[in-house]
Homo-oligomer: A and B are copies of this chain.
């Protein structure tokens, strides 16, 4: 079992990803696809007059400010535009794809952060109307049922809070939670960089291999989105996966290349 997460950053070639996924499925590989949609969300949010905002936590992490209106725009892009676009691409390649958000059938469930601390101009402030959280439970029963019937689940945030509210969750970490829950062997995290870079953004400084025990000491090299990926990788390995590959989705055969070890392999 392989879980593949493809990010939603600019430059990602979803057609190439779907070509690879369709080929793998036709060879009998069991897999689940997870996707993001951040770049398109930013564009649509701008166009709808509700531009994206990002907030910083006291520990220095940046995340999307998700008020209720942002959550709705997020759902439009992630669950509508991108999810159905991926499902359509896969159907056209003969794959029995089924697109679901984490809300559906409570596929991804977890606690909502009722209050988040953000730092603005050096001052800490509390936000109480933010809809974010983290995935703690995965409805593996439904995923296994769909897989057993020959369907390919195509999953996307948001998740559901334990109170049944839609919450924005990090896609990489949700993919990791899904991989752990399904007892997957490999998690592939595709984005618009070739992997973890020693000297960001110098792509020649790609780190090709990280032993699991060294993961912690590599955390400091990772900024922004990459930090969440390493956190997801750590959670996946702690949860029993054999390996996590961080790889580039801007190239031909992105999934094949990742599975062949092109990128940053953590095991």
Contacts and interface: CB of A to CB of B under 8 A. Distances in A.
Contacts of A103: 84, 87-88, 91, 99
Interface string A155-167: 0001010011110
A17 interface: no
Nearest to A50: B47
A160 to B, nearest CB: 6
Counting chain A residues whose Cβ lies within 8 A of the other chain, the interface size class is: 35 or more
Nearest to A49: B47
Given A47-B49, A48-B47, A104-B98, A79 B84 contact: yes
A121 interface: no
A48 B46 CA distance: 10
A83 B158 CA distance: 13
Interface string A58-102: 000000000000001001111111011101100110001111110
Interface in A134-165: 142, 145, 149, 151, 158, 160, 163-165
Q: Is the interface of A mostly helix, strand, loop or mixed?
A: helix
A195 to B, nearest CB: 31
A83 B76 CA distance: 10
Interface of A: 44, 47-49, 72, 75-81, 83-85, 87-88, 91-92, 96-101, 103-106, 142, 145, 149, 151, 158, 160, 163-166
The list of the 6 closest CB pairs from A to B, nearest first, reads A80-B80, A76-B80, A76-B76, A91-B164, A92-B164, A98-B105
